[in-house]
Structure 1
């Protein structure tokens, strides 16, 4: 949602745009409320949450984050949008770019997804439609991620427009107030819930941090509630559950504070937002023994994009 606002601010969505969040998702509700409080850019309407994805009128521009959604892909085939704008959806954006620049019949499917023949067929058709939009000059990708130069050139060679941004709209907004008082802020991770790192290794590391100094912990939106309950039991760790993206919640940190995170796309955006304030944003180098058998080498390679010039850990 935040990247959709930034895309409109950057002029990719035309003079008028509507942002329609999915219903019954608390993080989206909190983010919508915070954007409304700040005041969205001119020409942008924050619509009420909808239980189902709306079907856009034929020929209008369509901005989406989750390009691997079956409903989104079906919409590309039936609604025939005039222009498609892919707004940043984290690491999935890099995978999408790799698939788009791969073989023509490669289906657009999530990493580690187990798909039925029908779902694969939809992914193939969606990929063909998206590549056709690129060749026609009707596909834009809007991201704050560091896209490798070779991949970025391959995307442009396909005809797609690749636009990078630095959260210009958000950086121009006034700060709401001071953030957490703790010197060290830890970003939660989805790697545990997704079965990619061992739970006990992660909690041993957190316990070590909390025994050294007070720690502010900001959960990932997909963390398991039982895991969060366990985090709250760790001495020295305070869990802040604001619900809004870290980019909005933590942009007021002071120079004497630091952010620690396992490999995450939030590291990139927070560095953009906090560098001028002198706040260190450090990626934790995940030891080999933390990874589970489900963490494929390709995934670990993707995550390594966000682990440069940072700090290590001991598990």
Structure 2
């Protein structure tokens, strides 16, 4: 890694990349001192170094090569971002657009395929190993990712930063505090003998990763959490609040419509909520609140969205950027209704001062699918209960069981 790029970030989703940009903005603002926010400084005054080629055409750069972008930042602000894209088209499309925003901010973006083939993970590992070992600061978007955990076994960085991966951050803090395995909250376990064999084989990697997330005072290793979630860090871990200052500086304020917008969730796709109960809930909310648009989650299936459109008459919107940016850019409804999810924590920050009301509709126990993990009900309730500056919808707005 070049000495001028001391920080390396791994991201696997558009939201993770957004939060990496927020972290970089917060870090630069703190370094600039009070009253000198980076967003207010002209680019020519904060960029330095030699020029680079013009941006490449839309799409990923050749495997293992840095993508071209805007003029580089000074060394103190430099950030190299390794994008490890998933295979679904919606996520990849949003990631490409977020990567373009990152390049506009002067960061270096490396698009590295790590999925989609038997040898892809090994090729990606070989391409990234030098940067991983040389980085002074490593920023992680998803501490539960097995591939990221594998990369962490190679990390020698003095500083490790975890940025939000949505509500999973709450589970990350709880599990590291208890010294438990890093397993996502909605996984019910199982997998039979093959699954148990894989877990056993992977155990040394998982254990090493968990240790990396434990700061060691006096040994030159710090761990910072950069989050919008209502979490309390433990031990020597430090917390910096993500208030979406970069988003607010770059977008909006939005034009407000008179209607209500609904926010979709992938709880059906993850096996937490029954599909029929979810459709009933959306139909009821649309009628109750006069909603006209439904902002789909990037992982919602086309079949499910077609059924929702036919049953409710809602306009289905598939955003090309994370919802925080879409809402801030506008137009957006004066009320945004969501089920328990990350946005009930992030939108109040992103839309601060705009007059938009964010409301949350709890997931009723009768909506849970048979495949839902034992922790699902309590976790989802905690997401709603801990949300700040949101309106809690009364229980009777949910469809009755039956």
| TM bucket normalised to smaller | 0.7 to 0.9
- Do 1:217 and 1:237's aligned partners in 2 also have CA atoms closer than 8 Å? yes
Task: State yes or no: 1:74 paired with 2:146.
Answer: no
Task: Tell me, in whole angstroms, the C-alpha distance in 2 between the residues paired with 1:83 and 1:162.
Answer: 13
Task: Tell me, in whole angstroms, the C-alpha distance in 2 between the residues paired with 1:37 and 1:128.
Answer: 33
Kindly provide the CA deviation profile for residues 28-69 of structure 1, in whole angstroms up to 9, marking residues without a partner as x: 54354257459744x523x15221353324241211111111
> Could you say which residue in structure 1 is the equivalent of 2:82?
20
Long gaps (5+) in structure 2: 1-16, 29-74, 115-123, 191-195, 386-390
Give the TM-score taking structure 1 as reference length.
Answer: 0.85
Task: Tell me, in whole angstroms, the C-alpha distance in 2 between the residues paired with 1:280 and 1:286.
Answer: 19
> Could you say which residue in structure 2 is the equivalent of 1:192?
268
Q: Secondary structure at the match of 1:107?
A: coil
Task: Tell me, in whole angstroms, the C-alpha distance in 2 between the residues paired with 1:250 and 1:304.
Answer: 25
- Equivalent in 107, 128, 131 of residue 44 of structure 1: 107
Give the TM-score taking structure 2 as reference length.
Answer: 0.68
- Equivalent in 229, 249, 255 of residue 145 of structure 1: 229
Kindly provide the CA deviation profile for residues 220-243 of structure 1, in whole angstroms up to 9, marking residues without a partner as x: 111122111212223430001123
- Do 1:21 and 1:28's aligned partners in 2 also have CA atoms closer than 8 Å? no
- Do 2:226 and 2:241's aligned partners in 1 also have CA atoms closer than 8 Å? yes
Long gaps (5+) in structure 1: none
Distance 1:161 1:40, change over 3 A: farther
Task: State yes or no: 1:314 paired with 2:398.
Answer: yes
Task: Tell me, in whole angstroms, the C-alpha distance in 1 between the residues paired with 2:151 and 2:102.
Answer: 32
* Pairing of 1:132-211 with structure 2 (within 5 A): 132=215, 136-147=220-231, 151-152=232-233, 155=234, 157=235, 159-175=236-252, 178=255, 181=257, 183-211=259-287
Distance 1:268 1:182, change over 3 A: same
Deviation of residue 169 (structure 1)?
Answer: 0.7
Deviation of residue 110 (structure 1)?
Answer: 2.5
Q: Highest CA radius of gyration, 1 or 2?
A: 2
Task: Tell me, in whole angstroms, the C-alpha distance in 1 between the residues paired with 2:156 and 2:102.
Answer: 33
Aligned pair count reads: 303
Distance 1:176 1:22, change over 3 A: farther
Q: CA RMSD in A?
A: 2.8
Kindly provide the CA deviation profile for residues 204-232 of structure 1, in whole angstroms up to 9, marking residues without a partner as x: 12223445634210111111221112122
Q: Secondary structure at the match of 1:121?
A: helix
Q: Secondary structure at the match of 2:183?
A: coil
Distance 1:9 1:40, change over 3 A: farther
